[in-house]
Structure 1
């Protein structure tokens, strides 16, 4: 389950910001997860609670923001929405798509106390 390692990275980012900005408690974490990132939101929620237990985010609520997959179709020269990595272009059916968004995972915002 790679979500555990991802959560450890998220907590590392939060802990580094807590030291840098001198806050001692996080109440909410907004985490943006792209539709093409291969990250399972339910697994992230479970792992976050476990990994955050002894950190400044120990009692934080995790809010997940899903961002859509977007690709550039080289066949029809359009920007298109994609739900899965190897889906064909919804406009022309072509398979030459360059992913331009939706693979990311980032800490979008923190609410601190």
Structure 2
């Protein structure tokens, strides 16, 4: 389950921000997850709770914003939205797609006291 490693990375980001800004606690972590990132939102919520235990982020709520996948279709020269890899272009049916967005995951915002 790679979600645990991802959540441990999120906690490390929070610890780094703590060193820079010296806040008392984390209330909310807003996380963007791309549709093509291979990170399951429900697993992320569970793993974040475990990874945040006994840290400044313990008890923080994890809000997840899912962003769509996008690709450039070589055949019809259009940018298209895709839900998963290896699906055909929704415009022309071609499989000649180059993923352009939706693979990433990032901490978008921290709500702290």
TM-score, normalising length: structure 2: 0.98
Which consecutive aligned stretches of 4+ in structure 1 deviate over 3 angstroms post-superposition? Answer: none
Consecutive unaligned residues of structure 1, counting only runs of 5 or more, are none
Partner of 1:41: 41
SS of 1:14's partner is: helix
Consecutive unaligned residues of structure 2, counting only runs of 5 or more, are none
Aligned ranges 1:1-113 → 2 under 5 Å: 1-113=1-113
How many Å apart are 1:22 and its aligned residue? 1.1
Q: How many residues align?
A: 113
What do the CA deviations read for 1:34-69 (whole angstroms, capped 9, x no partner)?
A: 000000001000000001011111010000000000
Q: Supply the distance in 2 between the matched residues of 1:100 and 1:21 (Cα, whole angstroms).
A: 34
Coordinate RMSD, CA, aligned = 0.5
What do the CA deviations read for 1:3-48 (whole angstroms, capped 9, x no partner)?
A: 0000000000011001111112100000000000000001000000
TM-score, normalising length: structure 1: 0.98
